[in-house]
Structure 1
Amino acid sequence: MRNLFLSLLATLILFSCSDDDETTTVSPKLIVKLVVDSDQVRLGNNGSPAEIPAGNAAQNPIFNSISAHYLEFAQNSNTLLGNGAVLYQAAETTAGGENAIDFEKSNVVAPGDIFIEIPLKNITPGSYEWVRLSLSYQNYDVEFYFNDIPFTGTVASFVGFNNYITQYTVKNEQVTVNENKPQGYWGFETVTGVLTGQAPEGATTVPNPLFATSPIPQGSCVVTGNFDSNLVITGQETNDIMVTLSLSINKSFEWIDANGNGKWDVEPNAGENIVDMGLRGLVPSYQ
């Protein structure tokens, strides 16, 4: 009897485990990747193609990592910022005084890696034409010249509306801040150490083709772009949806070209200050 009881108990446990396995389902997700493209059209703030202003020069940076602060899908061109499906908003803090992005808690990834995953069941069903993405941080390599000799340096670029930074690493060296830094703050690491600076207020380009019907706040970095065909979420999906957000870095690193040679000269008193580190357009796609 004892052996029979144990045999029946084992059978019940086996069937119980099998039933659990069979009823376990994986919820499909929205998977978002950030990529950069130096061949993508270079846009200005109003979403139209933009040339490099006279007296400036620019180059395509080589990206190491990137982060965003906010992601929203908008139904149409009249959907105001915040009235679409807000999918992601990174941590903020008042530790530095005014409200700011908490850089320490930012999700920093390499271009092409998965940035976020969201269960599709958590997204309001609808037909979405536009994407709004607020960039916050970029890390990339650029070419510079010293005594007309070319070198490569690394830039840590903070383009969020306001950034509370405890510390950050540019390439090898760590910089301690412990305060808020406005949009356009940067650290630049070369063989001789790290220089820090600030781009002019309001100089960071933020392309928004919907500026006439759906403006964005001054000083934000909400880049806007539209799908070729609307992304429709029904709430009944059984498979993941992959969304790729392609960001234009076409001559996105811009400086004052004081001597007109098209090179970024960093000698003392050269006067070739960084003026713009904004992304130059957003092209979203899905599959």
Structure 2
Amino acid sequence: MKNGKAFIYSGAVLLWFLLATVLTTCNKEDLPPSGITDKMLKIRVRFDPDQARLDSFGNPSVVPAANATQTPSFNTMSAHFIELVGDEFTPYQQGAFLYKGEEVSANNTNTYGFTTAIDFDKALVTAEEEVFLEIPLSAIDTGIYHHIRVSVAYQNYEVLYNLNNVPVINSLPQQSGTIASFVGYNTYINSLQVDELEVAVNAPKLQGFWGFETKLSEPYSSYNQIVTGQAPADATTVVNPFANAPIPRGSCVVAGSFDIPLKVSWEEQEDVYMTLSFSTNGSFEWIDTNGNDEWDIDASNSSQSEKVVDMGLRGLRALWE
């Protein structure tokens, strides 16, 4: 009997020891390494009409003599991919991954080899200065980041135009309208609501697809409608100052730099707010056939309307605080 009690006691001690070991092990796994905080990186966007207007190589841009531009008033935008980059030699998608939106299969004909498309129904669409993405700093590789890449997928903004050759009326100058501009590599769009009106698309669309909703002045507002168009292939400006890290053709991955390099240490004591400041300076560009520096749309013959050629954002600065 004595031996039996001893056996039971010894077994209880062993069981307690094993249980304590398991619990201790689990607790250690649940706890972050010493010094790591739970602070967040919070990302927002800014649309800057006064920021430098750059070309595809990051140099000051010159508008072609036959074209004209205007600086739109931005409403919202969507980013499909964001990565931090340590140096200018880091290849695309080899930096510190922050975000990638959802995609679907797509079989639209293209010369780029795209077999997927951005799922616009699930895209993150954000307004200016609105925090649209929060990431634990402990989920980002420690290091010093000098640059950033952002795949811009969608833009929504206001523009001015002249509506000419309107039956009976003749012309309506200096009208306003809203453009929904798709500059991502390929985007599957079901239904597109530009502003107040909506149009069915139900197809994948390559970079440069746009929908334009007129916002005619009274008493003509009841005639408002959406028209759609497609900018020429490879015509969208994609700013990438880093020649050693090329961006895939047909995509809109804008590369830029931090004003002050971002250091991630996992020991941050406060949340970090990052602002992605995009240049909207002359970002809407068309072929100005009559040289009046205004976008002219022909209401009676669409082939006579001035063609949109470029809707790319014109630069990226990254700031943090």
Q: TM-score, normalised by structure 2?
A: 0.79
Query: Would the aligned equivalents of 2:37 and 2:138 in 1 still touch at CA under 8 Å?
Result: no
- Name the residue aligned to 1:209: 241
Q: Which moved more, 1:132-141 or 1:147-156?
A: 147-156
Query: Would the aligned equivalents of 1:148 and 1:265 in 2 still touch at CA under 8 Å?
Result: no
- Name the residue aligned to 1:183: 207
Task: Kindly report the root-mean-square deviation, in angstroms, between the aligned alpha carbons of the 2 structures.
Answer: 1.6
Q: Which has the larger radius of gyration?
A: 2
- Name the residue aligned to 1:286: 320
The SS at the match of 1:207 is: coil
Q: Distance between the aligned counterparts of 1:131 and 1:171, measured in 2? A: 31
| Residue 230 (structure 1) aligned with residue 264 (structure 2) | no
- Name the residue aligned to 1:40: 51
Q: Distance between the aligned counterparts of 2:259 and 2:73, measured in 1? A: 27
Of 310, 316, 320, the match for 1:276: 310
- Superposed CA deviations along residues 109-150 of structure 1, whole A, max 9, x for unmatched, are 111111211011111111100010110000001000023611
What letter corresponds to residue 227 of structure 2 in structure 1? L
Within 5 Å, give how 1:119-268 maps onto structure 2: 119-146=136-163, 147=171, 149-190=173-214, 191=216, 192-210=224-242, 212-267=243-298, 268=301
Within 5 Å, give how 1:90-101 maps onto structure 2: 90-94=101-105, 98-101=115-118
User: Which structure 2 residue ranges, 5 or more long, are not aligned?
Assistant: 1-30, 109-114, 164-170, 217-223
Q: Distance between the aligned counterparts of 2:107 and 2:182, measured in 1? A: 15
User: Which structure 1 residue ranges, 5 or more long, are not aligned?
Assistant: 1-22
The alpha carbon displacement at 1:270 in A equals 2.7
Q: Distance between the aligned counterparts of 1:259 and 1:215, measured in 2? A: 36
What letter corresponds to residue 306 of structure 2 in structure 1? E
The alpha carbon displacement at 1:164 in A equals 0.6
Query: Would the aligned equivalents of 1:207 and 1:281 in 2 still touch at CA under 8 Å?
Result: yes
The alpha carbon displacement at 1:271 in A equals 3.9
Query: Would the aligned equivalents of 1:125 and 1:235 in 2 still touch at CA under 8 Å?
Result: yes
Q: How many residues align?
A: 263
The alpha carbon displacement at 1:239 in A equals 1.1
Q: TM-score, normalised by structure 1?
A: 0.89
Q: Which moved more, 1:65-74 or 1:228-237?
A: 228-237
Q: Distance between the aligned counterparts of 1:189 and 1:93, measured in 2? A: 27
The SS at the match of 2:212 is: strand
What letter corresponds to residue 275 of structure 2 in structure 1? T
Q: Distance between the aligned counterparts of 2:200 and 2:38, measured in 1? A: 41
Of 74, 83, 104, the match for 2:94: 83
- Superposed CA deviations along residues 172-210 of structure 1, whole A, max 9, x for unmatched, are 111111110000000000143000010000000011000
The alpha carbon displacement at 1:95 in A equals 5.4
The SS at the match of 1:104 is: helix
Q: Which 4+ runs in 1 deviate beyond 6 A? A: none
Q: Distance between the aligned counterparts of 2:234 and 2:132, measured in 1? A: 27
The alpha carbon displacement at 1:32 in A equals 0.5
